[in-house]
Amino acid sequence: MNIWLRFGLIVMTFGLSSVTPVKAQFSGGPYGPISKSYAQPNAKTIYYVSPEGQPRADGLTLDNPTSLSSAISKVTSGDAIVLRGGTYRTGNLILNQGITLQPYKDEKPILKGTQVASTWEQKQDNVWVTNWKTLFPSKPMFWWRQERHIDKTPLHRFNNDMVFIDGEFLQSAGSIEELTPNTFFVDYEKQQVYIGTDPNSKLIEITAYDTALLRTSNDVHNKRSDKIGPKIYGVTFTQYAWRAIGIEGKRTFLPEDEPVDEPVGVADPLTYGKEVINTLLENVTITYCSRVAGYFRGDGLIIRHSLISDTSTEGIYIIGSSDVLLEKNIIQRNDIENITGYYVSAVKIINQTYRVTVRDNLIINHPTSKGVWYDVGNREGLFIDNYVENTQAGLSFEISDGITAVGNVFVNNDLSVWVLNSANANIAHNTFVNSTLRFTRTARSATDDHFGWHPETGPDVFERDGHTVKSNLLTADEQHHGPLLSVDQEDALCAQYKKAQLAELDGNAYVKPENQQPLITLSTSSSEPCNREINTLDKLQDSTAQYETNGQLINGHPRTVFVSPDLKRFELQRHISKKVNLVLPEKVTNAFENIGALPSASDNQSR
């Protein structure tokens, strides 16, 4: 099926057909959790809980709340738990029923995976110690290459314990001698935690739980799974060692297991993602988890209007799932421990997902991490109307086949979009500011690969082509280094690969200072050398006539075309008409009267 037609059908599935043309770019908000007062849920049975709730209370009335753990053990499919405001220091809650969790009216329930450490002994100058039994030692995954990364990432970084002083996160140290006011050290043999700050008159919190809520597929609380995911509204999860939320598939994973391994090898999507379906998170906040905010498995997942922040590796981790929607979230500041060689990303979409839509989100402040990464055998991805800033690569698409990226704004990323060893990526009507657009292919295959079966799930070495790049606006100022567009491959492939990576490159506009080089790095089957620099569109058109016959080069600065890039106003000062037509869904086509993602100021005034 034509990729743009498929895009249109999926858009209607998620309700984009109701979006007016003017809204067919990132909306400008609101993003993240929205404060609201929740009505009583429509549920079979409602259990009321509070931080002071008694486990023996039945929880059936507001004035007789039970504990959260007690309510979790009682609920059955279709029930609801209403949480009073306050801090719940709890975790390792397990359920297997499709239920609702929400606040009472506008109250603010906060689940914390820490306990307060109040008993400290000073051992020497600037060193204090406490005994602590709930510790979470761990180690790197088997594929982490210690010989490459040990100098930057000591092994203690892989332990999952966390310490907070007055809410401030501390980094780990490798010994008492390394302690500073901003670090902690754990002696696992003696079960002791050391800090370098006087704890008097301070709130010291140390992790006591490694998970807030696990939705298991196994039998639990004398009930079988109903295969329906939870619906969670308006709850904050914070300070958990490992993850806040886990949604299981067919098996249970432990912290040291490779979370990607379900399914293993090439698989039919009808055989996975069905154990827990239709999980929903809305107006949820997840912060400060020592690995990820959550591992999510199961078709029909929706995460919207949520804040995912300050995690140590990934934020949202989606595995082997189809028909997923991420919408209007703020996803920021992952990789807070700066663990090198772990291939981290704010959102990881991995292992043969189908139709995962990432729409109208803020993905910001990930300078040592990718933004959204589709990796290992994904199909029919949609990345539309997002704002992405300060990442290593805003959107990565690797070992996968078929993605549409439309209407996004990428600002100050090392790479805006990086398509690596993949096929059929369609990049149209995006705005790029100091963010290189890159397509790469290598000889990586399933033969002797470091990650085993992963390459088998995507296009083989000589199937990595079919990309289109149309009607984008690529801009750079004097601070940007490198090309605006790079289409590159390993030298050995130039003589072997007879088909160019890009099937179409046309109708794009390039804005850069006149003396800044190069404009484009390009590799085609006839390139000599294999990857060559092109400085003008004339040279590009002369050498490969099928490229950019309708392209535009504007010598200048982002201020030349945008209303005010200094204020992050990326509407166009003037109309820059598109010169190629795209077979986009009608609602989206009508919205794009200009090059790039956003309208011109004159277009807005005319409306």
Average pLDDT value over all residues in the chain = 91
Quote the CA–CA distance of 355 and 426 in Å, as a whole number.
15
Centroid of chain to Cα 541: 37
Q: Extract the tokens encoding 144.
A: 């982490």
Q: Extract the tokens encoding 30.
A: 């609101």
Q: Indicate the Cα dihedral angle 581, 585, 588, 593, nearest 10°.
A: 20
**Mean pLDDT, residues 261-280:** 96
Amino acid at 548: E
pLDDT interval class at 527 (50, 70, 90): low
**pLDDT tens digits for range 394-435:** 999 999 999 999 999 999 999 999 999 999 999 999 999 999
> What pLDDT does 516 receive?
84
**Mean pLDDT, residues 167-171:** 98
Q: What's this model's pTM, rounded to 2 decimal places? A: 0.93
pLDDT interval class at 389 (50, 70, 90): very high
> What pLDDT does 584 receive?
63
What is the CB neighbour count within 10 angstroms for residue 36? 13
**Beta carbons of 347 and 319 less than 8 angstroms apart:** no
> What pLDDT does 591 receive?
65
Quote the CA–CA distance of 40 and 62 in Å, as a whole number.
11
Centroid of chain to Cα 490: 28
How far is CA 291 from each of CA 134, 138, 218, 374, 444, rounded to the nearest angstrom?
Answer: 17, 11, 24, 19, 28
> What pLDDT does 397 receive?
98
**Mean pLDDT, residues 38-63:** 97
How far is CA 68 from each of CA 115, 146, 311, 348, 444, rounded to the nearest angstrom?
Answer: 16, 42, 25, 30, 49
**Mean pLDDT, residues 577-588:** 65
Q: Which range among 189-193, 237-241, 502-506, 575-579 shows the weakest confidence by mean pLDDT?
A: 575-579
Amino acid at 256: E
Give 3-state DSSP helix, strand, coil % of the chain, rounded to 5: 15, 35, 50
The yes-or-no verdict on residue 587 having pLDDT over 70 is no
Amino acid at 291: R
**Mean pLDDT, residues 528-533:** 82
Quote the CA–CA distance of 244 and 237 in Å, as a whole number.
6
- What is the percentage of the chain residues whose pLDDT exceeds 70? 92
Q: Indicate the Cα dihedral angle 351, 352, 356, 361, nearest 10°.
A: 20
Nearest to 558 by CA among 427, 421, 410, 442: 410
Q: Strand 409-411 relative to strand 379-384: parallel, antiparallel, unpaired?
A: unpaired
pLDDT interval class at 4 (50, 70, 90): very low
